[in-house]
């Protein structure tokens, strides 16, 4: 029977019910009309109460009864508004509707009389008319309330159904639905049902054979539904028996089965009551020997009681014959479903087969077993060799009279079933149906795999939505279902599969970490069975996994930013997230970010309110994680939201003490500021007074925007003004050394070099403490002691900020000549940078002379080309020539003259060669 026929039958039943109710109302209405009309004609003239007090008292009492009746009906209807929505579901409703209508009709049209005439029947009729009208009004009110409640109930039911759909958790048996027969097995189940129905009175066993997860339980469900549909005359009684509830006590299987059979028979009226008694007697004999965890317990008294002929001359075989006779006389058949036999151990399986073929092989009982033939045969075998397994199969054949092999479900039907049950969010995301189907077909996904896969997806998608790439998550879960060992391998060896310099890997060559080698490849092939099946899906997730199959390095260049933006599993930033049930405490959820960004779009909020919101919501999380994720949101933001995000990020930058956090925000600004299309938006941001560091950063970013020339000039002017106002040793001393050094270096870009040198030199004067603070900024090293060339380079860098007047005083001061003297000076003084500074100054002449002498020695007797001096050597040489003594200057000039002489000869030769090449090109051009 199909779903359409069910609907037709339902409509037919509703129509029959309506006709019955209508007929009942009409008949009742006519009866009441006859009674009222006859009563009024017979008694109206005879009954009259002259005494007004008595008459009024009587009418009041009648009215009180009427009021109580109406009130009772109203309260009853109100209390039952939740339990029933239909009209005339109870007998009293017929009377409460039809009687008032009949009274009103009779008073107005059948037997009209003057109002309050004094005649008893007439006056009672008037009172009845009044209360009938009220009662009918209350009836309509209750009807309206029921209708409204029904609408509300339907909405709640629909909402509940929607919630159930959103939940999307399934069981195997849920695949067996007519309206959802995704595996197209309804016809197959109907044929089995037909075989069951046509079975005669003898005992019969049908086996539905199929591999684990092939959909046997869903076929069971379809058979049961089909039996229910065709069982209109109640000819069949169905029973589900689950033999795997009993643990090690296998004999309990028989006893429990018999008592469950007794319960089923008792609930049905189609069996002889004596059958109940005989089955209990039979079950009692079966339990004479009881197995317990501690061994076998034997009840000697019970044994004598049961087998003493003086008490009961019937033997157990006689009881069984009596049961057979009673069942044959019955008009009912019993169908017993036993599922998941392949989950039992060897002894339990044998006990089940003894039950159905020896102990409970009663007539008119059909057993339907669902099992995996290979698994059960192997369980019944004495060993794992083929011969023993074949013996196990023969043992199985003795018990199953009709083996039906479950047809393999078409892979396309399985795939469609999965697609229909996947959350809608996935289908709206980047998950491609064809691509998913291809992977599912390659992996040979079974119906049970599909149920587990869909349930896993339905569980993890709401948890990890927004935190990972949903397509990658779906493929990873598919791997988890089909190959738990591959899933574990991925989790344990992610550092060798992801892109990026993290997770303890070292990148070499074109990108393979040192861990990805032949040893890991061999371990992969040993750990995972049928590895070739997983090549496509694994390399889709991890391009590097191609190494496991081809042994070749992946030479394709992969953009790490794109991987991070898409939250791919092969991104080193997101890999770990796929194996968590939630985010680490300091990582910001995407839902929180989206909530904050939605609120920032509210134009009613002031900038201060937005900053307060931004600060309160996001300061709880790691700044690196927040701004990394915000970078990907800003691309989809409109101009106003981008401007707001930049403004708030700059405000937070100003509040940060951590240089690491500032660096993260700086990266965010480097990405977002160039995205602003309108210069006006950036100008509005810059109307606020920002720190010197932040203003310089925005200046650099604005230079990338070719249309912002006016803004760039304005920023340059503003930066010069800030240097003029703020630049002092006290100002730089308060800043982190790295930021202070950057600002000193950037100063030359906005101010004339001589002005910068003059202002910095004025800070020092005769104050060694100020010079020590300055050197602590520009001497960017941990320990220069013993590395003479490094010390000299730091010295040269620091002199870039000093004018000639100050440098003259530096070169006049007493030098520290040896490294030992420097070490001793550092022990006795706290100004370590000053000692290193003056030690480097004392070594600068030696440094220049030795380098120049080496250059002259190497190049004078060779045909090498023009000699070029490195910039640091040039700078050091200029200092010696400016501030060194006469002898030092003379020696340096002698070496320079030799170099100039060497270069002059080579320069003339290079010029002649160049003229010859030019002439050759000219002649070639003429020929052409």
For the residues of 472-518, what is the DSSP string, one character each?
HHHHHHHHHHH-HHHHHHHHHSGGGTSBSS-TT--EETTTEETT-SH
Q: At what angle do helices 251-267 and 273-286 cross, to 10 degrees?
A: 170
Confidence of residue 518 (pLDDT cuts 50, 70, 90): confident
d(CA 453, CA 592): 29
Mean pLDDT value across the chain: 77
Confidence of residue 897 (pLDDT cuts 50, 70, 90): confident
Q: What is the mean pLDDT of residues 713-723?
A: 91
Q: What is the mean pLDDT of residues 441-452?
A: 86
> Could you tell me which residues come within 8 angstroms of residue 498 by beta carbon, excluding any fewer than 6 positions away?
505, 542, 544, 569, 570, 571, 572, 575
Q: Which two tokens stand for residue 8?
A: 């037709």
Q: What is the mean pLDDT of residues 90-98?
A: 63
- At residue 565, what are phi and psi to the nearest 5 degrees? -60, -40
What is the pTM for the complete model shown? 0.56
Q: What percentage of the chain exceeds 70 in pLDDT?
A: 75
3-state secondary structure 274-285: HHHHHHHHHHHH
d(CA 682, CA 421): 49
Alpha helices by DSSP H, listed for 779-885, are: 788-799, 804-812, 819-828, 832-842, 844-859, 871-883
d(CA 783, CA 791): 9
Is-contact 690 707, C-beta < 8 A?
Answer: no
d(CA 335, CA 235): 11
d(CA 104, CA 125): 9
Residue 249 pLDDT greater than 60, yes or no = no
Highest mean pLDDT out of 204-213, 588-597, 793-802, 913-922: 793-802
Q: What is the mean pLDDT of residues 102-126?
A: 65
Residue 365 CA: distances (Å) to CA of 254, 260, 318, 901: 16, 14, 19, 119
Residue 497 CA: distances (Å) to CA of 469, 481, 505, 856: 16, 20, 10, 54
pLDDT of res. 316: 77
Specify the 3-state DSSP secondary structure of 907: helix
Confidence of residue 178 (pLDDT cuts 50, 70, 90): very low
In the structure, how many helices (H) and strands (E) does the chain have?
Answer: 42, 9
Q: Which residue is it, tokens 């040489």?
A: 877
Comparing 45-49, 108-112, 538-542, which segment has the lowest mean pLDDT?
A: 45-49
Q: At what angle do helices 768-778 and 788-799 cross, to 10 degrees?
A: 110
Of 814, 884, 813, 806, nearest in space to 844 by CA? 884
Residue 212 pLDDT greater than 70, yes or no = yes
d(CA 809, CA 812): 5
Name 207's bridge partners: 369, 403
Comparing 108-112, 497-501, 614-618, 844-848, which segment has the lowest mean pLDDT?
A: 108-112
Check the CA dihedral 443-446-451-452 and report its sign: negative
Confidence of residue 502 (pLDDT cuts 50, 70, 90): very low
Name 403's bridge partners: 207
Q: What percentage of the chain exceeds 90 in pLDDT?
A: 5
Q: What is the mean pLDDT of residues 887-901?
A: 87
- Of 903 and 823, more confident: 903
First to last CA, the chain: 93
Q: pLDDT tens-digit profile of 661-686? A: 888 888 888 888 888 877 787 888 88
Name 295's bridge partners: 292
- In a 10 Å sphere around its CB, with 0-12 CB exposed, 13-18 middle and 19+ buried, how is residue 714 labelled? middle
Alpha helices by DSSP H, listed for 44-119, are: 52-79, 91-105
d(CA 191, CA 541): 44
Q: What is the mean pLDDT of residues 360-377?
A: 86
CA angle 790, 794, 796 (to 5 degrees): 115
Confidence of residue 756 (pLDDT cuts 50, 70, 90): very high
Residue 915 pLDDT greater than 50, yes or no = yes
* Per-residue b or e along 138-150, where b marks 16 or more CB atoms closer than 10 Å to that residue's CB: bbeebeeebeeee
Confidence of residue 829 (pLDDT cuts 50, 70, 90): low
Q: What is the mean pLDDT of residues 208-216?
A: 78
Is-contact 600 607, C-beta < 8 A?
Answer: no
Comparing 153-167, 247-261, 793-807, which segment has the lowest mean pLDDT?
A: 153-167
d(CA 209, CA 187): 17
d(CA 520, CA 349): 43
H or E element that contains 927: helix 886-927
> Could you tell me which residues come within 8 angstroms of residue 579 by beta carbon, excluding any fewer than 6 positions away?
491
Q: Which two tokens stand for residue 542?
A: 């991890």
Q: What is the mean pLDDT of residues 106-115?
A: 65
d(CA 614, CA 203): 76
Q: pLDDT tens-digit profile of 632-646? A: 788 778 888 888 888
- Of 612 and 176, more confident: 612
Highest mean pLDDT out of 190-204, 853-867, 881-895: 881-895
CA angle 202, 207, 211 (to 5 degrees): 175
d(CA 689, CA 666): 18
d(CA 732, CA 747): 12
Neighbours of 913 (CB within 10 A): 10
> Could you tell me which residues come within 8 angstroms of residue 241 by beta carbon, excluding any fewer than 6 positions away?
257, 260, 336, 337, 338
Q: pLDDT tens-digit profile of 851-878? A: 888 888 887 666 566 777 888 888 888 9
Q: What is the mean pLDDT of residues 403-420?
A: 83
d(CA 760, CA 744): 10
CA angle 300, 301, 303 (to 5 degrees): 65
């Amino acid at each position: 029977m199909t779903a359409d026929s069910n609907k037709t039958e339902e409509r037919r039943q509703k129509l029959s019910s309506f006709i019955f109710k209508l007929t009942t109302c009409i008949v009742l209405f006519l009866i009441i009309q006859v009674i009222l009309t006859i009563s009024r004609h017979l008694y109206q003239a005879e009954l009259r109460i002259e005494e007004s007090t008595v008459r009024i008292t009587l009418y009041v009492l009648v009215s009180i009864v009427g009021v109580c009746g109406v009130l009772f009906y109203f309260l009853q209807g109100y209390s039952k508004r939740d339990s029933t929505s239909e009209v005339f579901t109870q007998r009293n409703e017929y009377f409460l509707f039809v009687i008032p209508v009949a009274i009103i009709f009779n008073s107005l049209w059948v037997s009209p009389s003057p109002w309050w005439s004094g005649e008893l029947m007439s006056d009672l009729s008037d009172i009845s008319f009044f209360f009938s009208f009220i009662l009918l009004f209350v009836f309509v009110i209750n009807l309206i309330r029921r209708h409204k409640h029904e609408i509300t109930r339907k909405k709640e039911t629909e909402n509940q159904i929607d919630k159930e759909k959103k939940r999307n958790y399934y069981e195997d048996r849920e695949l067996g639905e007519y309206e959802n027969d995704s595996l197209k097995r309804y016809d197959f189940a109907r044929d089995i049902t037909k075989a069951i129905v046509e079975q005669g009175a003898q005992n019969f066993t049908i086996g539905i054979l199929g591999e684990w997860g092939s959909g046997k339980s869903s076929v069971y469900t379809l058979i049961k539904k089909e039996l229910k549909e065709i069982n209109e005359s109640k000819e069949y009684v169905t029973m589900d028996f689950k033999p795997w509830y009993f643990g090690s006590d296998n004999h309990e299987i028989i006893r429990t089965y018999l008592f469950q059979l007794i319960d089923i028979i008792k609930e049905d009226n189609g069996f002889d009551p004596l059958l109940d008694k005989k089955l209990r007697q039979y079950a009692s004999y079966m339990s004479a020997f009881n197995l317990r965890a501690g061994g076998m317990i034997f009840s000697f008294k019970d044994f004598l009681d049961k087998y003493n002929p003086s008490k009961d001359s019937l033997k157990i075989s006689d009881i069984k014959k009596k049961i057979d006779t009673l069942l044959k006389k019955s008009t009912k058949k019993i169908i017993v479903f036993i599922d998941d036999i392949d989950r039992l151990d060897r002894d339990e399986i044998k006990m089940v087969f003894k039950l159905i073929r020896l102990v409970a092989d009663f007539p008119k009982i059909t057993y339907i077993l669902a099992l995996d033939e290979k698994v059960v045969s192997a369980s019944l075998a004495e060993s794992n060799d083929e011969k023993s397994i074949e013996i196990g199969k023969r043992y199985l054949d003795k018990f199953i009279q009709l083996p039906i092999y479950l047809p393999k479900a078409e892979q396309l039907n399985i795939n469609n079933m999965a697609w229909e049950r996947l959350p809608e969010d996935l289908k709206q995301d980047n998950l491609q149906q064809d691509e998913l189907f291809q992977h599912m077909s390659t992996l040979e996904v079974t119906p049970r795999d599909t149920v587990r896969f869909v349930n896993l997806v339905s569980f993890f998608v709401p948890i990890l939505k927004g935190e990972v790439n949903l397509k990658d998550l779906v493929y990873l879960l598919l791997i988890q279902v089909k190959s738990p060992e591959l899933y574990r391998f991925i989790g344990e060896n992610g550092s060798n599969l992801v892109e990026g310099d993290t997770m303890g890997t070292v990148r070499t060559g074109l990108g393979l970490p040192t861990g990805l080698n032949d040893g890991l490849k061999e371990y992969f092939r040993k750990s995972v069975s049928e590895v070739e099946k997983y090549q496509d899906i694994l390399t889709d997730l991890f391009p590097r996994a191609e190494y496991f199959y081809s042994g070749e390095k992946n030479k394709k260049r992969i953009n790490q930013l794109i991987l991070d933006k898409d939250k791919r599993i092969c991104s080193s930033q997101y890999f770990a997230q796929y194996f968590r049930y939630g985010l680490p405490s300091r990582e910001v959820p995407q839902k929180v970010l989206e909530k904050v960004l939605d609120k920032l779009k509210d134009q009613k909020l002031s900038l201060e309110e937005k900053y307060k919101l931004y600060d309160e919501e996001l300061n709880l999380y790691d700044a690196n994680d927040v701004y990394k994720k915000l970078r990907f949101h800003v691309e989809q933001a409109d101009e106003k939201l981008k401007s707001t995000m930049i403004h708030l990020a700059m405000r937070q930058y100003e509040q940060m003490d951590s240089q690491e956090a500032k660096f993260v925000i700086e990266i965010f600004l480097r990405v977002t500021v160039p995205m602003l299309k309108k210069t006006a938006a950036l100008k509005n941001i810059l109307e606020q007074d920002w720190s010197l560091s932040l203003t310089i950063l925005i200046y650099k970013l604005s230079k990338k925007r070719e249309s912002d020339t006016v803004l760039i000039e304005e920023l340059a002017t503003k930066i010069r003004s800030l240097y003029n106002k703020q630049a002092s040793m006290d100002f730089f001393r308060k800043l982190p050394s790295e930021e202070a050094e950057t600002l000193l270096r950037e100063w030359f870009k906005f101010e004339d070099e001589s002005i910068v040198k003059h202002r910095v030199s004025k800070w020092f004067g005769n104050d060694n403490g100020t010079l020590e603070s300055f050197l602590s900024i520009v001497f960017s090293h941990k320990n220069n002691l013993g590395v003479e060339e490094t010390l000299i380079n730091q010295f040269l860098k620091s002199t870039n900020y000093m004018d000639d007047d100050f440098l003259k005083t530096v070169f006049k001061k007493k030098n520290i000549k040896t490294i030992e003297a420097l070490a001793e000076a550092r022990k006795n003084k706290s100004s370590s940078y000053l000692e290193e500074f003056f030690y480097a100054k004392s070594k600068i002449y030696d440094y220049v002379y030795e380098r120049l002498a080496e250059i002259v020695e190497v190049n004078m007797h060779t045909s090498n080309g023009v000699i070029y001096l490195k910039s640091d050597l040039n700078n050091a040489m200029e200092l010696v020539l400016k501030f060194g003594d006469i002898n030092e200057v003379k020696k340096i000039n002698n070496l320079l003259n030799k170099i100039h002489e060497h270069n002059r000869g080579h320069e003339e030769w290079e010029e002649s060669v160049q003229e010859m090449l030019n002439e050759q090109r000219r002649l070639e051009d003429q020929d052409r």
